[in-house]
Amino acid sequence: MANFVYRRQFPIEWGHCDPAGIVFNSRFFEFFDWSAWLLFEAALGVKAGDLPATFGISGIPLVDAKARFLHPAKFNDLVEIASEVGRFGRSSFEVRHRITIGGDLAVEGSETRVWATQDPDDETRMWGVPIPAEVIGRFTTA
| Cβ within 8 Å of residue 2, ≥6 positions away | 140, 141
| 76 touches a second copy (CB under 8 A) | yes
| Cβ within 8 Å of residue 36, ≥6 positions away | 60, 83, 95, 97, 111, 113
| 119 touches a second copy (CB under 8 A) | no
CB of 89 to a second copy, least distance (A): 16
| 94 touches a second copy (CB under 8 A) | no
Candidates 55, 59, 129, 140; binder of a second copy (CB under 8 A) is: 59
| 83 touches a second copy (CB under 8 A) | no
| 49 touches a second copy (CB under 8 A) | yes
Candidates 5, 42, 62, 101; binder of a second copy (CB under 8 A) is: 62
Contact 97, 108 (CB under 8 A): yes
Contact 121, 80 (CB under 8 A): no
H/E stretch holding 70? none
Instruction: Kindly report the number of other CB atoms within 10 A of residue 97's CB atom.
Output: 25
| 46 touches a second copy (CB under 8 A) | no
| 22 touches a second copy (CB under 8 A) | yes
**Start-to-end C-alpha separation, the chain:** 5
Residues forming the site for a second copy (CB under 8 A): 11, 13-15, 17-22, 24-27, 29-30, 33-34, 37, 47-50, 58-59, 61-69, 72, 74-76, 118, 123-126
